[in-house]
Amino acid sequence: MPDRNPLPRAILFDWGGTLMEDDSTSTVAAAGSPDIRRVPGALEALIACRPHATICVATNAMVSNDAEVWDALSLAGLAGGVSHVFSRQSLGFGKQDERFWLHVQATLGLMPQHMLMIGDDFDGDVAAPARAGLNALWLNRETQERRVGTGYDTLFSLTELPDRLFG
Ligand SMILES: [Mg+2]
């Protein structure tokens, strides 16, 4: 686990490829009737984390703003556990931009070391938030590669998450 803080007060999940399969997130805004597919373990992870931390979604999706992400989360049965959505589309800047994380901190009123970002894109979901002082977990469902560094580690499935954080 990341070593800056063992129990995060806020957990931010990426959307495409982390909570929902990427093919779902790319069609939600455009098609209007999305073929929603949750990533295995997504619902269980949110249910397990919700009693311990504020749950957020942080997305770099090109086509979906905050409202459209909320709609998609609702259709996927995931909205109930989520407190905040932060989207590049609504903010005007993405996760690689430091302003994204400053906005998240200001909104949640938390120091970066009290937040954990989880996502499948190493640059946007791990390297960028780690640079901003957050902890991060890289969700790698594709290979056996494990990446570990200051403030970040690797997760191979969302089903591992509850034990990893609270076990
Ligand atoms: Mg992603």
10-166 is classed in which CATH architecture?
3-Layer(aba) Sandwich (3.40)
Provide Rg for the chain, Cα atoms. Answer: 14
Distance 123 CA to ligand 1 centre (A): 10
160 and 49 in contact (C-beta within 8 Å)? Answer: no
In the chain, what are the domain boundaries? Answer: 10-166
Output helix, strand, coil percentages for the chain, rounded to the nearest 5. 40, 20, 40
Q: Report residues near ion ligand 1: CB below 5 Å.
A: 14, 16-17, 120-121
| pTM for the predicted model, two decimal places | 0.92
pLDDT of residue 33 exceeding 60, the answer is no
Q: What φ, ψ does residue 31 adopt, rounded to 5°?
A: -90, -30
Nearest to 20 by CA among 29, 114, 152: 29
Q: C-alpha 145: how far from its chain's center?
A: 20
State the Cα–Cα distance between residues 78 and 99, nearest whole angstrom: 27
Q: C-alpha 71: how far from its chain's center?
A: 17
Distance 20 CA to ligand 1 centre (A): 9
DSSP designation for 112: G
Q: Is 57 in a helix, a strand, or coil? A: strand
Q: What is the pLDDT of residues 86-142, one digit of tens each?
A: 999 999 999 999 999 999 999 999 999 999 999 999 999 999 999 999 999 999 999
